[in-house]
Structure 1
Amino acid sequence: MTSEVTTRTDTSTGDPTASDMDGLRERYRYERDRRIRADGTAQYRATTGEFGYYADDPWSSATERAARTDHVDALVVGGGFGGLTAAARLRDAGLERIRIVDTAGDVGGTWYWNRYPGIACDIESSIYLPMLEEIGTMPSRKYPPGEEIRGHARAIAERFDLYRDALFGTGITSLAWDDDAGHWRVRTDRGDDMSARYVVVSSGPFNRPKLPGIPGIEDFTGHTFHTSRWDFGWTGGDATGGLDRIGGKRIAVIGTGATAIQCVPHLAEGAEHLYVVQRTPSAVDTRDDAPYDERWWTSLQPGWQRRRREDFLHRMNMHPPLLGDDDGVADRWTDTAPIRGVRRYARTRDTESLAEALEIADAEKMDELRARVDAVVEDPATAAALKPWYRQMCKRPTFSDRYLQAFNRENVTLLDTGGQGVERITADALVVGGTEYPVDAIVFATGFELGADPATRAGADVRGRDGLPLARRWSDGLHTLHGWVSRGFPNLFHVGALQNSASVNFAHVLEEQASHIAAVVGEAGRRGASVVEPSAESEDAWVATIRERAVDQQGFLAECTPGYYNFEGRPRKRNEQFGGGPVEFHEVLRSWRDGGMSDVLGEGAR
C-alpha cells in the first residue's frame, strides 16, 4: 500500500477520510485491485448437480396432476410480485382465464424461496408491498418479516382469483408462437402442452441461486445449504429465529451481503461457534425499524400509496420531493450518498462540479458508516476488517441494528479473506489464510445469478415468428419498445429491468409495468386487435433512445470493488437502462399510451 493510503487523516485509526480525497481514492483502488479475479463471474457455479439446491423445493411437495392441454387468455411465467401484479391488472382489463406458472409451490417469488431467519424487506412496506391500498391490510411495521410479505402475495392471488388456473411446481420449457393460430404454444416439464393468447414473462432477478467455485467444495462431508433453501430441519426454529438445533455446532457463513446481514445475528445466537467468511464488507447503516401507528394508518387519504411511492421515487432520483418528511418516506435510503451529493451541489455549484459534489458527499457518508463500525464493534482488528472501502452505491446498501453487534459475541469470528474468498474446502474444514477452520456446516449466503434476460432466467426456449429464437434476436443487443415488447414476438411481454428504468423500490417499477401492459391489452380488446407487436420503426427509435440517453456508468463501476453491480469488476460496456431515470420513464409510458398506441396496435405494427 502506498504512503498516500496510510496518511493519518483520522487520528483514531490512521485511515484516510473525506478530508484526504487523494488518500481515499488510493485506498479504494487498492481494496478494489486486491479483489479483482481473473475468472470474473466464472468464479461462481450453479446450485444444481450434486448440491441440487435449485431443483429441490423444501417448502412444498410435488403433487401428481394430469397434463394440461387447454387454452388460456394469458399465461404468466412467475408468481412473484411482477407476475402477480401483471395477472391482477390483466384481470382488471377483462381477461377471464389467467394462468400463473411457477416452479415454486405457491406465489411469492423470492419471498417464497427465501425464508432464512431474519428475512425482511429493506424498503418501507407502505410503498413496497404492491396493491396495499386495494388489499386493505396494514403491515405490522415499517420493514415486516418475510412471512408477512408472503402472506400479502397470497392475498393478491386470492383477491384476483389467480389460484383458479395456476400451475405450481411447474417449469416452462418452451414458448413457440403459432402465427396461423395467433397464440403461443407453451410446453412444461410436467408434460403440459397448452396455448395462450398472451404470455407475460416475469421470472425475476433472484430466482437462480449460485455458489462460489471453491476448490474442494464437493469434498465437504458436513451439512450445507444455500440461504434461499434454508434447512430448518437441521437448524431448528423458523424465519423469526429460535434456531434451537445448532447448539454445539460450528457453522460457517460464506458471504456478507444483504442476506448475511439478516441471518448472521440469528445463527450467532444459536451456534456453538459461528465463522463469518468475508470477501468484501457491506456498508451497514442503521435500520430504525418500528411498528406502524394504527391511528396514522387509518388517517391516510385515498390514493396515499401512489403519492408516497411517487414521492420516494422523486427523492431517490434527485427530483424535488412531492411530500414533506412527515407525509413521505424519509429514511436511510433517502440519506444515501447520491442524495446527499445533489443537496451539496445545490449549495456549492458555483465552486464544485456535480461530480465533485457527489464524490465529496459520498466520502462523508462512508466516513460515517466506517465510524459506526468503530463505535459498535469492540475488537479493533475486527472493526478494521468490517469497514467498507468503496463508494456507497458500488454495492447495494444494507441496514441493520444487529449485524455489527453480533461480532461482539465471544462465539463469533470474522474470517476476512483479504478479498480473495476461501482458499479451499476440505472434508471437514474451511481453509483461509493457510489456516484450517473445522466446521460442521456451511451456509452459502452467496446470492443469485444476475444479468440474464427474464426468458433466459426462466429457462425457456422462446421462439417467435418463423421459429426465430429470442436469444438470436437479441444476440447483438436488446431490441425492444420500452423494454416490454419485441418485434417478431407478438403478444409476449417482459416484466423486469430491460431497456427501461429501475428503482431501489423494484416493486413499484413492476406494478407500473403491469399497469402499462394491462392498459395496452385492454385497448387491444376494445379495438379488436389480434396481436400486440411493435413496428420496426418504433422499436428502432426506442433502441436509439436507449443508446443516446444512456448514462455512462462504466467509469464509476470500473472503480468499484467487484460485485454483481459491476459483474465482478468487469462492467458491461453498454448500459441498457433509460438514462432519464424512472420518473421521466413513467411519464414516457403515460404519454405514449395517451398518444394512441398505434405503433403496437396499428397496421404498421405487423
Structure 2
Amino acid sequence: MGSQPEADGLPSEEDLKLYGLQQKYTEEAAKRFRPDGIDQFVELKDAELERFRTLGEDPWADHAALNAKQTVKDGARYKFLVLGAGYGGLLFAVHLIEAGVASGPDDIRIVDTAGGFGGTWYWNRYPGLHCDVESYTYMPLLEETGYMPKSKYAPGHELREHADRIATKWGLHDKAVFRASVKKTAWNESAKLWDVEIEQGRGPGQEPADLRVQTQYVLIASGVLSSPQVPKIPGLETFAGPLFHTARWDYSVSGGKPEDLSLTGLQGKRVGFLGTGATAIQAVPHLARWAKEVYVFQRTPSSVTWRGQRPTDPQEWETKIASKKGWQMERMLNFNAYLTNSPRQGEENMVGDGWTEIPAYCALLGCPDWDIVEPTPEKIGAHVARLYKLDVAATEAKRARVDQIVKDAETAGKMKAWYPTWCKRPTFSDEYLQTFNLPHVHLVDTDGKGVSSATERGLVVAGKEYPLDILILGTGYRTPAVGNGSPARRTGIQVYGRGGNSLDDKWQNHGAATLHGVCSNGFPNLFFMGSTQTASAANFVLALEVHTRHVAHMIAEAERKVAGRNDGSRAVVEVTSEAEEAWTVEIMRRAAWFASVMGCTPGYITSEGQRTQVPQDPMEMMKASRAGAWSQGMENFIGLLEEWKKDGSLKGLEITPVAAS
C-alpha cells in the first residue's frame, strides 16, 4: 500500500491492519466481479421484451393537458434549445435569462422525455424518497425564490414542486415540450444553426408527432442517472405477479401516493425488493410497515450511517441559515470542504451531518490541499495508502453501527460494507438497519453473486426459491461513464457537428476533449454538463450551479463582443482544438489521483467493475485518462474559472460573427 516501513524494517501495526483491510476489500470485490460488466443489465427503453419496455413508460403524464398545448412549432427557429427539464436544464434557462443573453423565456425552449419539470424528481416517486444531501444546500435558487424547505432533507414531492416553482418564477411553463426526445441534432454549416429533430409523444394509442426546428445554441442538461436498467436474470419475464422499477413506482399495486404513504395494496402480500442501494435504504422501511413479508435481495450491502432528519426551524432559518446575501453558495462550499478534506482551521461545519464525517470521499472529488499525484507506482501507492488511512475510522464506525443496531449476528455480518467509502455512494438512514430486526423482514444475501434466476412464483438464490406476490426492482441506472462520458451517449441522442462528424465517434475514437468540461471543438454553440473533464461534487446541484453559470458567462461575453459590431450579427462560439487539448493534458496530469477506484467493488462508479480492469492497449489507457475529472476539488476549480473570467479574453474560445438572417 505504499506505507513506509518502521526503522527496524518491520511494518507497523497500523500498516498490517491496513494491509489486512485492503485484502478483505479485494476478496469481497472479486466475489462480485463479472466479465460482462455493464452488459449484465439492459436499459428499460432498449429491452427486447415488451414487459420490460413498458416498465419505463411514464405513469405520471397528464396527456390531455399536454396535448392541448403547442409549445414548439414545427419549422420554428429558437435561440436556445435546452435538453432536459430537471434542475440542470432549469438552471441553464435561469442563468441565460439572468445574464441577459435570453431576452426572456421566449428565446428558450426546453425538451424533456418526462411529462413535467423535475428530472429525476419527476420520475422517482417511491415511498420514502428524499434528497440524500441537505435540502438547504441541494435545492437550487432558494435565495432567489425565497423558499424555505420544510425539513433538513426534503421529500421527493417537495423537490418536484420546487422545480415547478422555479419554472413559474422565470416564466418557463409554456416554453417546454414534454414527452419528447431529441433524436438528432446536426450543425447546419450554411445557416450556422443547429437542425434538431424532435419526436413528441401524444399518449397511449396515438402516433407521436415529428418536429423539426432550428436553434442557435444547444445545451445538453441530461442527468447522470437518467436511464433505468433491469438485470438480465434468466426467467425474470416469467414472474406472474406485479413487477415494476422504483423509477416508475406503481401505486396502483402498492396503494397510497407520494404524499400519502398508506401502502394498503401490500397488506397480506409477500414483497420482494431487488437491490440494496440508496433507493432500498429509503423504500424498504415503508414496505415493512405494510407488507406481510418483505424479502430484500442483496448483492452488495450499502454503507449506512445516521440521517438526523428534522423539521426546519423558521427562527434558525431566518437568523442563522438564510440570514445574508450569498448564504446558499457559502453553505454549499462549506459542505463541499468537508467532503474534500479541506475545511479551514476553525471553520464552522454548517451542515453537520453524516456526509461531513467522511473526508476520504475526496478520493472521488479531489482535494485542493494535496499535491497532484505523479503517475509512478511509488507515488500512486503512497497516495492510495494515505486515502485508506484517512478512511479507516469512518468505515469501521459504520460496520460497528451495524452490530449495534441489527440484533441477529448473522444478518448483521452480511450487512457490513467491505469496501472504501468512495466506492459506492454512501447512504444515510435512521430506519433501514432497524427494519431488519422485524420478524417479517428477511435479508437474502447472495454472497456477491446476485440472483440466480426467476420463476413464475419468485426469485431463486443458490438453488432456493423465494415465493413472492410482488417484485420491485431497485436496480439503478446506466452508468454515467458509458461512452467515455460522451454527453451524446449519456443523453441518447445523435450529435453531428462540423463536417457531419459525430460527437460519440470523437469521444470513442480519440477520447474526451473539452474546455472546462462544457464544450468541445467541432461542435460550435453546443454546451453540456457532466462529470467528465470537470470538477465533481457530492451535492450535484453545486456542480450544476457552477457549470451553468460558467456556460451562461461564456455565451454572454461572446454575444457582447459580437454586439459591439452594431451590425446585427449573431455569435458562433467554439473552443479551439489547441485549447481543448491543453485542458485535456491538465486532466490527464491529474488522472493518477483516482487510482484508488481500482480497488473498488463493482458498481456504477466503476461501470460494474469494467473501470477496474487496466487496459492493455496504450490507446485505451490514454482514452481512460482523458475521461477523468479535476483532482483538486470544486472550490479549486471555481477559482480557476474565476481567473479565466478575469482575463476577459475568453481564452480558448473562437468567436465568429455571422450576419443576421
1:304 counterpart = 2:304: no
User: CA distance change for structure 1 residues 301 and 541 in 2, over 3 Å: closer, same or farther?
Assistant: same
Give 1:187's match in structure 2, choosing from 162, 187, 197: 197
CA contact 2:56–2:248 (8 Å) conserved in 1: no
> For residues 280 and 387 of structure 2, what CA distance do their matches in structure 1 show?
29
Q: Which residue of 2 aligns with 1:52?
A: 53
Aligned-residue offset at 1:54: 5.9
Give 1:371's match in structure 2, choosing from 400, 421, 424: 400
Q: Which residue of 2 aligns with 1:398?
A: 427
1:332 counterpart = 2:354: yes
- Aligned letter for 2:61? S
CA contact 2:340–2:359 (8 Å) conserved in 1: no
Q: Which residue of 2 aligns with 1:519?
A: 553
Q: Which residue of 2 aligns with 1:3?
A: none
Aligned-residue offset at 1:21: 3.1
Greater fraction helix: 2
Aligned-residue offset at 1:307: 1.2
TM-score (norm 1): 0.92
> For residues 153 and 129 of structure 1, what CA distance do their matches in structure 2 show?
9
> For residues 21 and 428 of structure 1, what CA distance do their matches in structure 2 show?
45
User: CA distance change for structure 1 residues 340 and 101 in 2, over 3 Å: closer, same or farther?
Assistant: closer
> For residues 407 and 549 of structure 1, what CA distance do their matches in structure 2 show?
43
Aligned-residue offset at 1:360: 3.0
- Aligned letter for 1:333? W
> For residues 527 and 282 of structure 2, what CA distance do their matches in structure 1 show?
34
After superposition, give the CA deviation of every residue in 1:10-37 in whole Å (9 maximum; x if it has no partner).
xxxxxx9998334322222221111111
- Aligned letter for 1:403? Y
1:313 counterpart = 2:336: yes
Task: Select between 27-36 and 399-408 the one with higher mean Cα deviation.
Answer: 27-36
After superposition, give the CA deviation of every residue in 1:58-87 in whole Å (9 maximum; x if it has no partner).
111434366532111100000111111011
Give 2:640's match in structure 1, choosing from 588, 602, 605: 588
Task: Select between 151-160 and 26-35 the one with higher mean Cα deviation.
Answer: 26-35
> For residues 124 and 132 of structure 2, what CA distance do their matches in structure 1 show?
14
1:502 counterpart = 2:536: yes
TM-score (norm 2): 0.84
Give 1:461's match in structure 2, choosing from 462, 482, 494: 494
1:130-149 to structure 2, matched below 5 A, reads: 130-149=140-159
> For residues 573 and 634 of structure 2, what CA distance do their matches in structure 1 show?
24
Q: Which residue of 2 aligns with 1:174?
A: 184
> For residues 581 and 54 of structure 1, what CA distance do their matches in structure 2 show?
38
User: CA distance change for structure 1 residues 561 and 17 in 2, over 3 Å: closer, same or farther?
Assistant: farther
> For residues 290 and 18 of structure 1, what CA distance do their matches in structure 2 show?
41
1:553-592 to structure 2, matched below 5 A, reads: 553-554=594-595, 556-571=596-611, 573=621, 574-575=624-625, 576-592=628-644
1:77-226 to structure 2, matched below 5 A, reads: 77-94=83-100, 95=102, 96=104, 97-190=107-200, 191-226=210-245
- Aligned letter for 2:197? R
CA contact 2:338–2:359 (8 Å) conserved in 1: no
After superposition, give the CA deviation of every residue in 1:104-133 in whole Å (9 maximum; x if it has no partner).
011100010000000001111111111110
After superposition, give the CA deviation of every residue in 1:113-165 in whole Å (9 maximum; x if it has no partner).
00000000111111111111001010011101011111111111111111222
> For residues 605 and 657 of structure 2, what CA distance do their matches in structure 1 show?
38
1:292 counterpart = 2:321: no
User: CA distance change for structure 1 residues 304 and 383 in 2, over 3 Å: closer, same or farther?
Assistant: same
Give 1:533's match in structure 2, choosing from 571, 574, 582: 574
Give me the CA root mean square deviation: 2.4
CA contact 2:644–2:651 (8 Å) conserved in 1: no
Give 1:42's match in structure 2, choosing from 26, 39, 44: 39
> For residues 603 and 222 of structure 1, what CA distance do their matches in structure 2 show?
60
> For residues 333 and 430 of structure 1, what CA distance do their matches in structure 2 show?
35
Task: Select between 364-373 and 571-580 the one with higher mean Cα deviation.
Answer: 571-580
Q: Which residue of 2 aligns with 1:8?
A: none
> For residues 271 and 18 of structure 1, what CA distance do their matches in structure 2 show?
47
Q: Which residue of 1 aligns with 2:206?
A: none
User: CA distance change for structure 1 residues 172 and 603 in 2, over 3 Å: closer, same or farther?
Assistant: closer
Q: Which runs of 5+ in 1 are unaligned?
A: 1-15, 347-351
1:75 counterpart = 2:81: yes
> For residues 322 and 229 of structure 1, what CA distance do their matches in structure 2 show?
45
- Aligned letter for 2:424? K
User: CA distance change for structure 1 residues 133 and 578 in 2, over 3 Å: closer, same or farther?
Assistant: same
- Aligned letter for 1:316? L
Aligned-residue offset at 1:320: 2.9
- Aligned letter for 1:163? H
CA contact 1:232–1:238 (8 Å) conserved in 2: yes
> For residues 339 and 258 of structure 1, what CA distance do their matches in structure 2 show?
17
- Aligned letter for 2:134? E
> For residues 506 and 43 of structure 2, what CA distance do their matches in structure 1 show?
26
1:244 counterpart = 2:244: no
Secondary structure class of the residue paired with 1:221: coil
Q: Which residue of 2 aligns with 1:12?
A: none
- Aligned letter for 1:104? A
Q: Which residue of 1 aligns with 2:376?
A: none
Q: Which runs of 5+ in 2 are unaligned?
A: 1-12, 201-209, 371-380, 563-569, 613-620
> For residues 361 and 590 of structure 1, what CA distance do their matches in structure 2 show?
31
